[in-house]
Amino acid sequence: MSIVKSASTVRAVDALRHVLPTSADVQCGAGGEEPDLVVNGCALELRWVGRGRLGDARQLLQDAPVSERLIAVAREFSPGAKNALTEQGVGWVDETGAAEIAVGSIVVSRTGRPTKQADPEARWTPSVLATAEALLCGLPATVSSIEEVTGLSTGSCTKALRTLTQLGLLASDAERGPTSGRHVTDPTALLEAYATADRARRPAIELVVGVLWRDAVARLAQIGQRWTAGDIGWASTGAVASAVLAPFLTTIDAAVVYVDTETIAGLEATARVADLVPIEGGRLTLRPFPTVSTRRLSTFVDGLQVAPWPRVYADLQDIGVRGEEAAEHLREVVGGDR
């Protein structure tokens, strides 16, 4: 009797085969109790972990018995995920061609070649990003609730919810009638899809300014008071925002703040209000608000105006392995089971 392998198993096997030298003796297992792949006589156990974020790697390490024959496979592993797997002695390979494997006579080390995703990120318009951000903050998936909080038009809200449904991130309870509505199918999947799409769509406009601090949170709160007095909307994100939402990082070298403008001239004017001078390599980066939800859902926490937690989560992943770890901590503390 032939055993049909799952699509994820097939992808995992293909990814590993593609990084092995042509001289390797590769035999596929038949499934069941047999290994997924036998390479040069060494049986390997493959585990597909999806996107390959730090949380995916940690979930694998928690669920699967760690052994030298275990190989983690993903679309594209993040630096934090690679680090977590390597620390536990688990080999890994992803679909970009990157791999770190050392099992018996099998030694593979490749950097891979990441490719820019076209779809579904191309469907993530600013309205869709704003809607996803609002949903992740706990808003019901209805046109009226999204419209009220974001200020988007009825048509934009309707289209955004439809897009998220088509992407499989929302599901309808009923087609029509008083009980009709949508709900988030998988909060973690929505968060990761939102963060990935956001990175692909970020504007290039930003201004780096010089600032001195011993306590980044306290100093930024002081600067923010001048912006507030000048009727300038602003919100911190990334490392400094996570320091008040879910403390994890012990040091904060740089900070990012969103301000209510859409031009470089507006950023320069915002800096002048707080007597900040543009300087290469400065500690503080000013950027325009990326979505209407980021602006409207920002809140004061311990004297600091902070962006909504999904935005902070996405921005933390820009600052390396420690940023990824802080992002996962933030999701666990603030995101909960949403």
Domain boundary among 92, 111, 130: 111
Q: What percent of the chain has a predicted confidence (pLDDT) above 90? A: 47
If asked whether residues 254 and 132 sit together in one domain, one would say: no
Both 162 and 213 in a single domain?
no
Does 246 share its domain with 272?
yes
2 within domain boundaries: no
Instruction: Give the domain CATH number at 50.
Output: 3.40.1350
pLDDT tens, 253-285? Answer: 899 999 999 899 999 999 999 999 999 889 999
* Structure-token match 């939402």, residue found: 245
216-235 mean pLDDT: 94
Q: How far is residue 134's CA from residue 99's CA, in Å, rounded to a whole number?
A: 37
Is residue 190 in some structural domain?
yes
Residue 125: per-residue pLDDT:
92
One domain for residues 16 and 63: yes
Look up residue 179 and give its two tokens. 């009980």
DSSP letters for 37-101: EEETTEEEEEEE-TT--HHHHHHHHHHS---TTEEEEESS--HHHHHHHHHTT-EEEETTSEEEE
Label residue 137 by pLDDT band (50, 70, 90).
very high
Dmax over CA atoms of the chain, in Å, equals: 75
Which of 100, 96, 85, 101 minimizes the C-alpha distance to 40? 101
User: Could you tell me if 195 and 209 lie in one domain?
Assistant: no
Using DSSP's 3-state secondary structure scheme, residue 16 falls into helix
Tens of pLDDT along 1-55? 333 356 777 888 888 888 887 777 777 765 555 557 788 778 888 888 888 888 8
**pLDDT tens-place string over residues 78-118:** 888 888 888 888 888 988 888 888 887 778 888 877 655 54
Q: Do 172 and 244 share a structural domain? A: no
| Mean pLDDT, the chain, integer | 85
CATH of the domain at 262: 3.30.460.40
Judge whether 319 lies within some domain. yes
Domain assignment present for residue 116? The answer is: no
Return the pLDDT at 264.
Answer: 92
Is residue 215 domain-shared with residue 312, that is, in the same domain? yes
Asked whether residue 268 falls in the same domain as residue 188, the answer is no
The DSSP letter of residue 141 is B
Q: What kind and span of H or E run contains 304?
A: strand 304-306
Domain count along the chain: 3
Domain end position, chosen among 89, 111, 133? 111
Same domain, 68 and 20: yes
What average pLDDT score do residues 137-151 get?
A: 92
Do both 173 and 77 map to the same domain? Answer: no
Residue-number span of the structural domain to which 63 is assigned: 7-111
Q: Which pLDDT does position 194 carry in this prediction?
A: 94
- Averaged pLDDT, 127-145: 94
In a domain, 1, yes or no: no
Query: Within 10 Å of residue 238's Cβ, how many Cβ atoms?
Result: 27
pTM: 0.78
User: What pLDDT is stored for residue 39 in this prediction?
Assistant: 81
Same domain, 182 and 208: no
Q: Report the C-alpha gap between 253 and 136 in whole angstroms.
A: 28
Decide if 75 is inside a domain: yes
329 or 66, which is more confident?
Answer: 329
Residue 129 in this model has a pLDDT that exceeds 90: yes
Residues 177 and 168 sit within 8 Å (Cβ to Cβ):
no
Residue 179 lies inside a defined structural domain of this protein: yes
Which among 111, 134, 161 is the end of a domain?
Answer: 111
- pLDDT score of 209: 95
**Per-residue confidence (pLDDT) for residue 44, from 0 to 100:** 82
CATH number at residue 129: 1.10.10.10
Whether residues 143 and 240 share a domain: the answer is no
How far is residue 26 CA from its own chain's centroid? Answer: 35
